DNA sequence: TGCGTAATTGCAAATGGTTGCAACAACGGC
DNA sequence: GCCGTTGTTGCAACCATTTGCAATTACGCA
């Protein structure tokens, strides 16, 4: 697991402590399906280590997000996390009807970023970006309802 | 107040009841500064009508948002609302450092929308869109800190 | 104008998420 | 290996927002 080892190295380099809780959360996110909900992470972590507290899960995921180790995706009204893969950077399109999450290549937003910078000197946060909408499967077949 | 009257007409047309609470919330958002926080709305509403409940404010703002009567803007970690002005449609850039909100013309996103539709048949929700980032005033002058 | 019905409200309890704090433990230095 | 410092944890209290529910009220119709 190259990304997993890199993440640990990032932690160490920035002076954060390698606690069993942090390593556990990291391994769960690394092994899990893409886009794990906080509650999934917590449930699995608690199974492995019963003292695990939900606050620790939140704090750990936030730390990993700040470090760029995980990527946060808002799916429906809940936050989900996936291990960041620098070689596979992508944004997300999330369907408001089926909650499906689809990846979106970073180049789709590069022009938008350049325009905001040149027109407004506004530097958008586009390390990771999620746009909601309706996916092709959920597009209304015909009229209203 | 043309937009205010239009909003009432929208409510009526869709079969929603014109309660004093709804009219009060609407007038507060209509008169207030742009981008009012939920708590501002609640405080003013309660001053005018002491039985007003925070749950009613939330429910009313959500209804107005669904109807397109108000526009929701995430500023920092709180939701804010402004009366939707169809002739002045705009998106928002919100500065993560100073929480300043800047308007962004709709045309900045039109090409992005067309691309998502043609490449993925994904219809993005771009009635209203907020991008966070760092505004020109808050851009770091030089190095780290 | 008065009724019936269904939408809406106020309240209280629940939810997802955050935070203050005292106990604990990682890790650099001895 | 042990110690002290300081970052981190578990817990409980807290916060903003949502939800269930019984009481209330808007509004179409007689
Ligand atoms: Mn993904
Ligand atoms: Mn605005
Ligand atoms: Zn879908
Ligand atoms: Zn700023």
Query: pLDDT tens digit string along A41-99?
Result: 999 999 999 999 999 999 999 999 999 999 998 887 788 999 988 788 899 998 888 88
Q: Per-residue pLDDT averaged across B35-41, rounded?
A: 93
Quote the DSSP letter at residue A126.
Answer: -
- The rounded distance, in Å, linking the Cα atoms of A58 and A117 is 33
Give the model's pLDDT for residue A140: 78
Give the model's pLDDT for residue B141: 67
Judging by beta carbons within 10 Å of its beta carbon (0-12, 13-18, 19+), is residue B120 exposed, middle or buried?
A: middle
Give the model's pLDDT for residue A145: 36
**pLDDT for A143 beyond 70:** no
B48 CA vs D29 C1’ separation (Å)? 33
A123 CA vs D18 C1’ separation (Å)? 34
Contact B93, B131 (CB under 8 A): yes
Non-local CB neighbours of A4 within 8 Å, separated by 6+ positions: A26, A27, A30, A83
Contact A122/B133, CB-based, under 8 Å?
A: yes
Q: Which residue in A43, A47, A109, A99 sits closest to A73, CA to CA?
A: A99
B2-13 vs B20-31: helix axis angle to the nearest 10?
150
Percentage of chain A beyond pLDDT 90 is 66
Judged by its nearest atom, the ligand closest to the C-alpha of residue A36 is 1
- Residues flanking ion ligand 4, Cβ below 5 Å: B 95, 97-98, 100, 135, 138
Count of A-B CB contacts under 8 Å? 74
pLDDT 10s digits, B117-133: 999 999 998 888 889 89
B38-48 vs B20-31: helix axis angle to the nearest 10?
120
Predicted confidence band of residue A101 (pLDDT cuts 50, 70, 90): confident
Tell me the chain A residues in contact with residue B135 when contact means C-beta distances shorter than 8 Å.
Answer: 120-122
Which residues are in reach of strand C, CB within 7 A? Answer: A 12, 17-20, 38-39, 54-55, 58-59, 62, 78-79; B 16-17, 19, 21-22, 49, 51-53, 55-56, 59-60
Nucleotides of C under 7 A from a protein CB: 7-13, 16-20, 25-27
B131 CA vs D30 C1’ separation (Å)? 54
């Amino acid at each position: 697991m190259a990304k997993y080892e890199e993440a640990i190295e990032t932690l160490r380099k920035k002076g954060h402590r390698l606690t069993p809780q942090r390593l556990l959360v990291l391994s769960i996110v690394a092994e899990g399906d893409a886009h794990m909900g906080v509650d999934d992470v917590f449930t699995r972590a608690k199974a492995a280590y019963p003292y695990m507290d939900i606050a620790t899960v939140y704090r750990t995921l936030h730390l990993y997000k700040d470090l760029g180790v995980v990527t946060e995706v808002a799916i429906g009204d809940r936050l989900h996390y996936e291990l960041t893969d620098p070689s596979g950077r992508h944004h997300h399109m999330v369907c408001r009807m089926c909650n499906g999450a689809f990846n979106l290549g970073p180049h789709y937003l590069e022009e938008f970023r350049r325009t905001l910078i040149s027109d407004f000197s506004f530097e958008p946060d586009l390390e990771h970006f999620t746009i909601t909408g309706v996916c092709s499967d959920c597009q209304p077949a015909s009229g209203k309802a």
